[in-house]
Amino acid sequence: MRLLLLSDIHANPWALEAIERRVGPVDAVLVAGDVVNYGPEPGAVLDWLTSRRAVAVRGNHDQAVAFRQDPKAAPAKARLARTLAEWTRQRLTASQMALLRSLPVQLTWELSGVRVAMVHATPSDPLYDYRLRPDADRPLLAALCAGVKADLLLVGHTHLPLVRRVGELVVINPGSVGQPLDGDPRTAFALWEDGEVRLCRLEYDRTPLLAALERLPLEEHVCHELRRLYLEARL
């Protein structure tokens, strides 16, 4: 069985399409939230998820767009996140907004005997907890994953790739498809194949993304900050 594991697409279909071209056919696509906000093409990403029958949960930015709530973004991005959330709401159709609102906060999915628990941040704080990071110590990691009854736990939120084991549970953060923040601007994803997980990075042509950012009807400083994020992959 072959699973494509994604998170934090952030309305960047160019990265998403590059991954699909490289990976080829899979049995399922699983997405750990934040499909929209920041990027210039939220509708295209939602349509892609629908056409691929992707299984997805809601992230804090999806929550912000769908329900007009504060995304509680990192301080360095808080103002930018609120500005882009309002712009994103104006870009989505009624059916796309309905899809965004319908995403569950967490779920457990199963195929061929493999159970995958999915949540954007952590099981106890599904939308906002940033503590499940690569540098989390073992006691904290165990506490954050307590009570999860699955083979895999798929998370996102930090934009930092991670594979850790807690007993029999494998915790996976594939990193960010659309907006990496670890200093490496290549798109990030993970593949699960017959019991083995692999974190992957892929270079892709960011020219159309950067051109789309330049065309956004937003203040120049907003477009400049977005462009910097995508080029430098740092807050």
Phi/psi region, residue 72 (left: phi>0; alpha: psi -120 to 50; beta: rest), is left
Task: State which amino acid sits at residue 74.
Answer: A
User: What pLDDT sits at residue 192?
Assistant: 98
Global confidence as pTM:
0.97
Task: Evaluate whether residue 114 is within a structural domain.
Answer: no
User: What pLDDT sits at residue 75?
Assistant: 86
Closest to 225 in 3D by CA, of 96, 14, 73: 73
136-157 confidence digits (pLDDT tens) = 999 999 999 999 999 999 999 9
Task: Evaluate whether residue 168 is within a structural domain.
Answer: no
Q: Where are the alpha helices (DSSP H) in 167-216?
A: 207-214
The set of residues, in sequence order, having a beta carbon less than 8 Å from that of 40 and lying 6+ positions away, is: 11, 209, 212, 213, 215, 216
How far apart (Å, rounded) are the C-alpha atoms in residues 123 and 139? 16
Residue 91's SS3 state is helix
Write out the residue range of the structural domain in which residue 208 sits. Answer: 2-104+173-232
6-56 confidence digits (pLDDT tens) = 999 999 999 999 999 999 999 999 999 999 999 999 999 999 999 999 999
Task: Evaluate whether residue 115 is within a structural domain.
Answer: no
Task: Evaluate whether residue 191 is within a structural domain.
Answer: yes
Q: What is the DSSP letter of 27?
A: S
Task: State which amino acid sits at residue 177.
Answer: V
Provide the terminal-to-terminal Cα distance of the chain, rounded to the nearest Å. 36
Task: Evaluate whether residue 33 is within a structural domain.
Answer: yes
CATH of residue 13's domain is 3.60.21.10
Task: Evaluate whether residue 224 is within a structural domain.
Answer: yes
Token duo for residue 46: 């939602």
Length of the chain, in residues: 235
For helices 78-91 and 42-51, give the axis angle rounded to 10 degrees: 70
Where is average pLDDT lowest: 102-106, 127-131, 199-203, 221-225? 221-225
Q: What is the DSSP letter of 28?
A: E
Domain count, the chain: 1
Report the DSSP pairing between strands 55-56 and 106-111: unpaired
Token duo for residue 197: 């997980």
Task: Evaluate whether residue 158 is within a structural domain.
Answer: no
Q: Is residue 80 a contact partner of residue 130, using CB atoms and an 8 Å limit?
A: no
Closest to 232 in 3D by CA, of 161, 159, 172: 159
The edge-to-edge listing of strands for the beta sheet with 106-111 is: 106-111, 114-119, 152-154, 169-173, 162-166
Task: Evaluate whether residue 51 is within a structural domain.
Answer: yes
